[in-house]
Amino acid sequence: MSGGRYQDKEGRWAWRLTGFITLCVYIFMFAPIIATVVLSFNASMFGGFPLTGFSLQWYGKLLSNEQVLAAFRTSLWIALVTAAVTTLLGIITAFALVRFEFPGKATFGTLVILPALVPETILGVGLLVLIKAVDQPRSLGLLLLGHIMLALPYVVLITQARMVGIRRTYEEAALSLGASRLSSFREITLPLLIPAVVASALLAFTISFDNTSASLFWRPAGVETMPTQILSMLKISISPEINALGTVMIVVTVGIPLVGGLILQSLTRLRKRVDAKGNA
């Protein structure tokens, strides 16, 4: 079969139908998001249609909203720390899971991806009940560790998939030439792992930055993260300010991975070019 081309008539019709539904699904996926972005530039003081004119005033208003800025700062640093710590833990865990055989490995492997499968409401309540049982207050540290746990499954899966492709003989060669365990990892394994590291860090950042349900349970009293701030603003009304805020968030969380991916791609290309020159 070459692509979507079919010879018989019913196949052609089925293919057209498939294409049409695919188009509809993509429109369905993006129409609401596009509507939000468009409305953030709307002059109307109500957050909805119809469009009455172009205005940037809602972005200006956003910049002077102290609560929003505080929530943004909180979310930003939690997401940065989550990305750094989770990526580090993910590399170590994936290394152990790929290179080693140890009793309980299969169980551990399942345990690691469990946080991605258990609904956040349950994870949220569970941790809250635990700290209530030991009489501890909710703290930023708790929120941070919670985010790390939520991002961990994805990071381990990404890193593991890449690690499987790195042959252990490279590391063993370095070891047999007298490199220490750590330096063989740093000089051989880590550079080969870089694409997975970057992808993991970006994903962990977005998971933390976007997390809503669990954060509602875990955040300390009086602290808002970006999504919980949006939720509490939505309780009042859909203001055009929220549309502006949403648009800023979309630009941040879509822009960072896209730019990261592009940088990574051009880095790989550059390295290939340098290598090619070096070999010539």
Partner 1 sequence: MTKGWKLYDPRLAWILVAPVLLLLLLFLLLPIAVMAVYTFFTFVTAGVETSELTLANWTEFLTDSYYHGFLLKTMRVGAMTAIICAVLGYFPAYFIWATNFRHKWLLLLLLIVPFWISFTIRTFSWIHILGEQGLINVTLLKLGLIDQPLQMLYTEGAVVMGLLHFLLPYMILNVYVSLESIDRTLISAARSMGCTSAQAFREVTLPLSLPGLAAGLLLCFVLAAGSYVTPQLLGSGRDALFGNLIYDTIMGQLNWPMGATLSIVLFVVLGCFAATYTRYMGMSQIVKGLGG
Q: Is 39 near partner 1 (CB under 8 A)?
A: yes
The CB-of-104 to partner 1 minimum distance in angstroms stands at 9
The CB-of-157 to partner 1 minimum distance in angstroms stands at 4
Q: Which is nearer to partner 1, 12 or 274 (CB)?
A: 12
* Cβ-contact 92, 217 below 8 angstroms: no
Dihedrals φ, ψ of 210, to 5°? -95, -10
Q: 85-96 burial string, b = 16+ CB within 10 Å, else e?
A: bbbebbbebbbe
Chosen residue from 76, 80, 84, 116 binding partner 1 by CB under 8 A:
116
Q: Which is nearer to partner 1, 220 or 274 (CB)?
A: 220
Distance CA 57, CA 42 (A): 9
Q: Is 111 near partner 1 (CB under 8 A)?
A: yes
Chosen residue from 35, 262, 263, 270 binding partner 1 by CB under 8 A:
35
Q: Which is nearer to partner 1, 19 or 274 (CB)?
A: 19
Dihedrals φ, ψ of 103, to 5°? -60, 135
> Per-residue x/- marks for partner 1, 156-195, CB under 8 A?
-xx-xx----------x--x----xx--------------
Distance CA 96, CA 82 (A): 21
In order, the DSSP letters of 124-179 are HHHHHHHHHHTT----HHHHHHHHHHHHHHHHHHHHHHHHHTS-HHHHHHHHHTT-
Q: Is 217 near partner 1 (CB under 8 A)?
A: yes
> Per-residue x/- marks for partner 1, 124-163, CB under 8 A?
-xxxxxx-xx-----------xx-xx--xxx--xx-xx--
* Cβ-contact 207, 154 below 8 angstroms: yes
**Residue 177 is which amino acid?**
L
The CB-of-240 to partner 1 minimum distance in angstroms stands at 11
Distance CA 10, CA 6 (A): 9
Q: Is 7 near partner 1 (CB under 8 A)?
A: yes
The CB-of-165 to partner 1 minimum distance in angstroms stands at 12
Chosen residue from 113, 262, 263, 274 binding partner 1 by CB under 8 A:
113
